[in-house]
Structure 1
Amino acid sequence: MKTQSPPATKVFRRVAVTALAAALLAGAVTPGMAAADSSVATPKAAAGQNRPELQKAMQAFVDAGFAGVQVRVHDQRGEWVGSAGVSKLGEAAKPPTNGRFWAGSVTKTFTATLVLQLVGEGKIGLDTPAADYLPKLGLDPRITVRMLLRHTSGLFNYAGGETYDDGTYMPGLPATGNEWLDNRFHSYKPEELVRFALSKRARFEPGTDQNYSNTNYTVALLLIEKVTGHSYAEEMKRRILRPLGLRGTVVPGNRTELPGPHAHGYYRYEEAGQWKTVDISRQNQSLLAGAGDMISTTQDLHTFISALNGGKLLPAPLLAEMRKPYGKLGYGFGLFVQDLGPNCGTVYQHNGSPPHGYGALMYSSPDGKKTLTASVTWVDEVTRGPAKDFLKLTDTLVKQVFCGGQAGSAD
């Protein structure tokens, strides 16, 4: 779980876990946010690089109602790191600048990279039916590996549900709201998630349309495990985490704790006429296996996306395939391709949000030398509030980094 251009508002909507989360972070500011300390942590930057424009863009999230935000920028001026707001409601400490967080759908970029490494080794064919590798699942034999990675399979999205073109709504597994809150420690197995999705009507015939579905990447997880004979977590460690030294990143499985320093996310709901706020830093993300379950840090996301776009993880032809935008989503393989407009260029990115309380940003220039990685926390509600200005705020921050501050322009 949940900024593309043109316009910049669309990509974050598309990375949401459910149809409801397609309006991720829309809504009024939660009243409980007013108590948050909005002061900004002293940034770490290259000598003499105070970067007030980045500090201002980061602080704007807190001013709009977010509990906390941490931002990391790498560019020609060096590294800039800062945080704003609070790590925990009611306390003065600011978010740790390299704290861990639930990374949500950023996970898909990692999963796609693993699949493409196996393609490069001749163990998987992009245009081979996924059913050839996973014959017992009952997948439509027309669905290829390429379709999974591009979200063109038509598979029902198990997390939250789907609204079909004829207006019919089909509920999925609890992924938002009070139902998710009560269910947030439930453990799911990847095959269980996929079988649930396959019990529902497909959104469309394979290859005929495009629809963002977490099911695609959970099938990709099963594919990785079948082809390698190892668990997804083991392959992630062996192929990406250890080689890149990503010590703050983990595939949690059924683990519910964020290890080490971290900012807290919250969920707010009404019960018997009383508003209650629950700390949801602990949650079981097995609901999004291979699609949105990873824990990471801004430093690790920078290292990963920089290495990926710098050609260190995939052969050049496969990286080119990964970064080729396709369909109405402008989606490659685990990456959105975003044109920021004149004088800004193209960025490759994936944002993410688990069901509630956390969000992550991961952006890179084509050569991997300029990156923006960030995490935000907030007090969430069933409407996904509080930050009605999230999309505008993200656009401003992204353009400060990649466009020299040309924020808010229409594309």
Structure 2
Amino acid sequence: MPISRALLVAPLVLCLLALGSTSLPSEPHLTPASSYLPRLVVEGRAPAAAFLARRNPRGHGGLYDSAGTGIHAADRFRAGSITKSFVATVVLQLAAEGELGLDDSVEDHLPGVVHGHGNSGALITLRALLTHTSGLYDYMAALPVTDPALTGAAGPSAQSLSPAAAVRIAVAHPPAAARGSYAYSSTNYVLLGMIVERVTGHAYGTEIRRRVIVPLGLTGTSLPGARSTLPLPHARAYHRSGDGTLRDVTSIDPRIAGAAGEIVSTLDDLDRFYAALLGGRLLPPAQQSALLDTRTAGGAYGMGIHPQELSCGTTVWGHGGRITGSRVRAAATRDGRHVFTFRVNTDFPGGRRLETALLEAEFCARRPT
């Protein structure tokens, strides 16, 4: 498929992430985080917002709360760049098995794929891809964002952008940053997905299911591939245009995001995934150490996961995700014993201040102001 047609679906991903509540009888209903949810709806202009907090890393459930209408605890939703945490887990498992090395070059596994315009796969390691220190241009930045006609169900124009085509877009540009410096780029994880397939003979989605989803029993998590619809149950998802209009974008073609952002999940599944990952149940000690080592990225990012220091001195680890119609943030203590995931059913631009306030309300037990 020509790249020019594939670019038409960029808006689907570049937008690429009444009060009601329920709680388990064993948990208190109102928490400081609960008091912040209405602000996500009112100040963040999100139709609805919800969170699930868990302090028992091996159990199901926890404290759930929501604001707005049409959003439920068991909903499946698009989790965007949280996909990167799953991909990094698979790559680190393969490293533990000796199937690849973190200091292997991209050229070792994908000869000739990254070259030209100052780019060289021979000079970029898998470690650099995992930590966003490759310098590679983010292919997402080259895609147009102004076609409002393509924000609904997949139709004749909703063509997928293949991983190889995404990389070609990236390497048609000179590096966006010096190698070794941190610069977030979805191109890195598209390449990692390709490397997983080259090493294992299976698509990265197959390896994520086999190695993470099935062992953890994440029954609400899937890699949709070409499927434009969300599995049931799910709420509606909305994109807010520049003029403030909300448009239903529940059905989109997520393939343009691929290994950088296509995953579908639930609040409970994401809580349990990060509890397992940070609790050391998915990686051997050496790879667990690499996961959390932020030195390569100057403290900004580990491998598929990043730290955030809160005002009370607590550091939480996790990832955010934004894709058309959905914004998600998962955060956990370093031992995985306290996990918190929240979502809104819009791409929610400009909501980072409120997100940080919500995390601080949860992890610092700070009363809202």
Shorter chain as denominator, the TM-score bin is 0.7 to 0.9
CA distance in 2, matches of 1:293, 1:176: 21
Deviations 1:31-89 (A, max 9, x none): xxxxxxxx2223223425112423212222122221011210012798201222122xx
Residue of structure 2 equivalent to 1:8: none
Given that 2:138 and 2:187 are in contact with CA atoms closer than 8 Å, whether structure 1 keeps it comes out as yes
Judging changes above 3 Å, is the alpha-carbon distance between structure 1 residues 48 and 229 closer, same or farther for their aligned structure 2 residues? Answer: closer
Match of 2:4 in 1: none
Name the structure 1 match of 2:9.
none
Q: How does 1:226-375 map to 2 (within 5 A)?
A: 226-269=198-241, 277-326=246-295, 327-328=297-298, 330-342=300-312, 344-354=313-323, 356-375=324-343
Q: In the alignment, is residue 148 of structure 1 matched against residue 129 of structure 2?
A: yes
Q: Distance in 2 between matches of 1:346 and 1:63?
A: 28
Paired letter, 1:56: S
Q: Which residue of 2 aligns with 1:202?
A: 175
- 1:10-409 aligned at under 5 Å gives the runs 39-47=18-26, 49-64=28-43, 65-75=45-55, 79-87=62-70, 95-139=71-115, 140=120, 141-159=122-140, 161=141, 172-174=142-144, 178=148, 181=151, 185-207=158-180, 209-269=181-241, 277-326=246-295, 327-328=297-298, 330-342=300-312, 344-354=313-323, 356-378=324-346, 388=350, 390-405=351-366
CA-to-aligned-CA distance 1:223-245 (integer Å, 9 cap, x gap): 00000011111111110000000
SS in 2 for 1:290: helix
* Whole-Å separation in 1 of the counterparts to 2:272 and 2:54: 10
| Residues in 2 aligned to 1:286 and 1:329: alpha-carbon distance in whole angstroms | 31
Q: Separation in 2 of the partners of 1:157 and 1:178? A: 22
- Partners of 1:63 and 1:308 lie apart in 2 by 33
CA contact (8 A) 1:119 1:126 kept: yes
SS at match of 1:353: strand
Secondary structure at the residue paired with 1:235? Answer: helix
After superposition, the C-alpha distances for 1:264-290 in whole angstroms (9 at most, x for unaligned) are 2223448xxx98642101111111111
Question: Shift of the alpha carbon at 1:186?
Answer: 2.3
Q: Greater CA deviation, 367-376 or 187-196?
A: 187-196
1:210·1:329 contact (CA, 8 Å) conserved in 2? no
Contact 1:158 1:193 in 2 (8 A): yes
CA distance in 2, matches of 1:69, 1:147: 35
Q: Distance in 2 between matches of 1:150 and 1:48?
A: 37
Q: Deviation per CA, 1:308-348, whole angstroms, max 9, x where unpaired?
A: 01100001121111112243561010111112144x42211
Q: Which string of whole-angstrom CA distances, capped at 9 and with x for unpartnered residues, describes residues 204-253 of structure 1? A: 3432x221100000000000000001111111111000000011111111
The Cα shift of 1:406 comes to: 5.8
User: Do the aligned partners of 2:74 and 2:267 also contact (CA within 8 Å) in 1?
Assistant: yes
Distance 1:276 1:368, change over 3 A: closer
C-alpha distance 72-269 of structure 1, shift in aligned 2 (>3 A)? closer
| Cα distance in 1 for residues equivalent to 2:150 and 2:186 | 16
Contact preservation (8 Å) 2:150, 2:158: no
Query: Which is worse superposed, 43-52 or 255-264?
Result: 43-52
Closer/same/farther in 2, CA of residues 120 and 265 from structure 1, 3 Å limit: same
- Which residue of structure 2 aligns with residue 9 of structure 1? none
* Aligned 8 A contact 1:46 1:79 in 2: no
What amino acid does structure 2 have at the position aligned with 1:201?
P
Letter in 2 for 1:143: I
Aligned partners of 1:73 and 1:269: how far apart in 2? 31
Whole-angstrom CA distance in 2 between matches of 1:150 and 1:254: 28
1:187–1:335 distance in 2 versus 1, CA, 3 Å = same
Change (3 A) 1:69 1:325: same
- The amino acid that maps onto 1:252 is P
Counterpart amino acid of residue 333 in structure 1: M
Looking at structure 2, the residues matched to 245 and 235 of structure 1 have their Cα atoms a distance apart, in angstroms, of 15
In structure 1, how many angstroms separate the alpha carbons of the residues matched to 2:292 and 2:173?
Answer: 31
**TM-score, with length taken from structure 2:** 0.86
